[in-house]
């Protein structure tokens, strides 16, 4: 069953209440629900389900907007498989950290901080599970950085026979182990249920966050400098305006962090910033939370006022600079329920795509009280990564959950697809394997699936749609 208009906070799931996604885009009732307490029990329940002829789907935090986690078979909840198993320091200063697959990112961030470690890059929330986040290609921003799956060095994955297999990037290219690794680290769960993930993490670091409203044209005219000149650059553009909120996060120097701790001006003139951090939290209210909820309710009741609301929001957000531990800067709170579509574009296509989107929004008068979010990533070599083989700009369109989104998303998707866009695997889209085969090595993925899951235990309707069935050639 699919619903696009439910916006309430989900009630805790009991065996009788349907499962549902965070955005209210899908709800479903699996045949069986299991929550194994450890890896051994996970193997037993997966093998038992397969023996009963049922399909198996793990779910993390249910934060995908697509039907990626939906199943009419066995739903595997992984909340008990949480925490760090092992930490191995590397000669280059990084560490390999093996994490149980159900660990939520906010929990992981706390555990890493206690060890003096941190994820190199993160998305903009931390509610997801590690396995769910990597399986859909969750990413943050940074022209020299990849998404979370690029930080994965190894996996343990439970097959339909209940056997736990390890696979890592140390295996020889082209070997069965290496290919299993490729599909397991970003593959919507089609290689089996991940029980543990080994991540490469870095020593803990602080970021200097600079947030400033700019004219959109200033961002676009100096785009390369803006994107390449910062560790993590992104911006939010307010539809119907030519204004953007820019966000640039760069590693803080030791001097700056010391200056923060001592309560004096930092080496680069960054003043003690408790006020700025408070201002940032206030702006989160305008952009993502309480004030934003009120604005969206007004927009829902009177769509005609959206252009004025956007103009006010674009001006209400102030300039600020603050220092904070990396995870605190990367992550924001998102209390307003929305639906989202995001496409990965060749970076060079960003400007014409935004021009087309702007033209459509102006011509249609579509009320869109959410800013358009633009982020960046380096090219990578992960088979199913949306940044596979090309420097990428991500453009995300959102709509307040109770408001109609279909016309807006459909127009945006046509613009994105015409520019060679690739949809985020966890966000709304209508692409199928036929389109996606031009962007990904789907025949290689099918070969691996046929080898590790010949009976299709780990398929669901969504994977059939976007990857094809393991025995179907998409070439």
Ligand X SMILES: Cc1cc2nc3c(=O)[nH]c(=O)nc-3n(C[C@H](O)[C@H](O)[C@H](O)COP(=O)(O)OP(=O)(O)OC[C@H]3O[C@@H](n4cnc5c(N)ncnc54)[C@H](O)[C@@H]3O)c2cc1C
Residues that bind ligand X (CB under 6 A): 22-23, 57-64, 68-69, 78, 101, 123-125, 128-129, 131-133, 135-136, 138-139, 188-189, 193-194, 334, 424, 426
Beta carbon nearer to ligand X, 149 or 323? 149
Pick the closest to residue 226 from 240, 239, 212 (CA basis). 212
Provide the minimum distance between the beta carbon of 28 and ligand X in the complex, in angstroms, as a whole number: 12
Provide the minimum distance between the beta carbon of 409 and ligand X in the complex, in angstroms, as a whole number: 15
**H helical segments located in 52-197:** 105-114, 130-135, 176-185
CB 346 within 8 A of CB 387: no
Pick the closest to residue 209 from 114, 326, 103 (CA basis). 326
Beta carbon nearer to ligand X, 63 or 208? 63
Beta carbon nearer to ligand X, 74 or 437? 74
Provide the minimum distance between the beta carbon of 178 and ligand X in the complex, in angstroms, as a whole number: 18
Please tell me the distance from the alpha carbon of residue 189 to that of residue 82, in angstroms, as a whole number. 18
Beta carbon nearer to ligand X, 58 or 270? 58
- Give burial (CB, 10 Å; 0-12/13-18/19+) of 435: middle
Provide the minimum distance between the beta carbon of 54 and ligand X in the complex, in angstroms, as a whole number: 15
Provide the minimum distance between the beta carbon of 136 and ligand X in the complex, in angstroms, as a whole number: 4
CA angle 137, 401, 355 (to 5 degrees): 65
Rounded to the nearest 5°, which phi and psi values hold at 57?
-140, 125
Tokens 């000149």 sit on residue: 229
Beta carbon nearer to ligand X, 131 or 382? 131
Half-sphere CA count of 459, side-chain side, radius 13 A = 20
Beta carbon nearer to ligand X, 206 or 425? 425
Beta carbon nearer to ligand X, 129 or 273? 129
Provide the minimum distance between the beta carbon of 430 and ligand X in the complex, in angstroms, as a whole number: 17
- Give burial (CB, 10 Å; 0-12/13-18/19+) of 326: buried
Provide the minimum distance between the beta carbon of 135 and ligand X in the complex, in angstroms, as a whole number: 3
Paired residues of 89 in beta bridges:
95
Query: Both tokens of residue 166?
Result: 């390890």
Pick the closest to residue 124 from 327, 322, 283, 279 (CA basis). 327
Q: What is the CA radius of gyration of the chain?
A: 22
Provide the minimum distance between the beta carbon of 349 and ligand X in the complex, in angstroms, as a whole number: 19
Beta carbon nearer to ligand X, 24 or 240? 24
Beta carbon nearer to ligand X, 19 or 257? 19
Helix, strand, coil content of the chain in percent (nearest 5)? 35, 25, 40
- Give burial (CB, 10 Å; 0-12/13-18/19+) of 147: buried
Provide the minimum distance between the beta carbon of 191 and ligand X in the complex, in angstroms, as a whole number: 8
Provide the minimum distance between the beta carbon of 134 and ligand X in the complex, in angstroms, as a whole number: 8
CB 153 within 8 A of CB 197: no
Beta carbon nearer to ligand X, 36 or 266? 36
Long-range contacts of 165-168 (CB under 8 A, 24+ apart): 165/192, 168/198
């Amino acid at each position: 069953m699919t619903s696009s208009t439910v916006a309430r906070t989900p009630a805790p799931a009991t065996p009788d209440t349907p499962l549902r996604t965070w955005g209210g885009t899908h709800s479903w009732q699996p045949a069986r629900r299991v929550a194994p307490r450890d890896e051994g029990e996970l193997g037993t329940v997966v093998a038992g389900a397969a023996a009963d002829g049922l399909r198996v789907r793990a779910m993390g935090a249910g934060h995908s907007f697509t039907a990626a986690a939906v199943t009419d078979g066995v739903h595997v909840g992984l909340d008990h498989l949480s925490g760090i198993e092992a930490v191995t320091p590397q000669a280059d200063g990084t560490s390999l950290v093996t994490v149980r697959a159900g660990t939520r990112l906010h929990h992981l961030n706390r555990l890493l901080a206690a060890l003096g470690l941190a994820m190199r890059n993160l998305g903009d929330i931390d509610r997801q599970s590690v396995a769910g986040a990597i399986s859909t290609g969750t990413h943050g921003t940074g022209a020299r950085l990849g998404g979370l799956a690029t930080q994965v060095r190894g996996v343990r994955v439970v097959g339909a026979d209940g056997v736990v297999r390890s696979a890592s990037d140390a295996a020889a290219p082209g070997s069965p182990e290496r290919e299993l690794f490729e599909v397991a680290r970003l593959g919507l769960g089609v290689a089996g249920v991940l029980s543990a993930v080994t991540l490469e993490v870095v020593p803990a670091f602080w970021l200097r966050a600079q947030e400033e409203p700019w004219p959109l044209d200033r961002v676009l005219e100096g785009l390369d400098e803006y994107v390449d000149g910062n560790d993590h650059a992104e911006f939010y553009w307010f539809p119907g305006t030519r204004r953007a909120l820019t966000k640039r996060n760069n590693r803080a120097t030791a001097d700056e962090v010391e200056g923060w701790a001592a309560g004096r001006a930092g080496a680069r003139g960054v003043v003690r910033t408790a006020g700025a951090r408070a201002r940032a939290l206030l702006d989160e209210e305008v952009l993502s939370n309480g004030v934003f909820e009120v604005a969206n309710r007004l927009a829902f009741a009177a769509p005609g006022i959206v252009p004025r609301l956007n103009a006010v929001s674009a001006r209400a957000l102030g300039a600020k600079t603050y220092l904070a531990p990396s995870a605190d800067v990367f992550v924001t709170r998102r209390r307003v329920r929305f639906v989202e579509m995001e496409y990965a574009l060749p970076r060079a296509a960003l400007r014409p795509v935004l021009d087309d989107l702007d033209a459509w929004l102006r011509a249609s008068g579509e009320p869109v009280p959410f800013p358009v979010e633009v982020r960046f990533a380096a090219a990578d070599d992960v088979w199913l990564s949306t940044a596979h083989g090309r420097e990428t700009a991500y453009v995300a369109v959102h709509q307040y959950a109770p408001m109609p989104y279909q016309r807006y998303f459909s127009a945006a998707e046509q613009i994105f697809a015409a520019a060679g866009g690739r949809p985020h695997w966890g966000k709304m889209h209508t692409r199928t394997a036929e389109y996606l085969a031009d962007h990904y090595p789907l025949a290689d993925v099918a070969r691996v699936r046929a080898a590790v899951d010949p009976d299709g235990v780990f398929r669901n309707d969504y994977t059939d749609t976007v990857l094809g069935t393991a025995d179907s050639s998409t070439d």
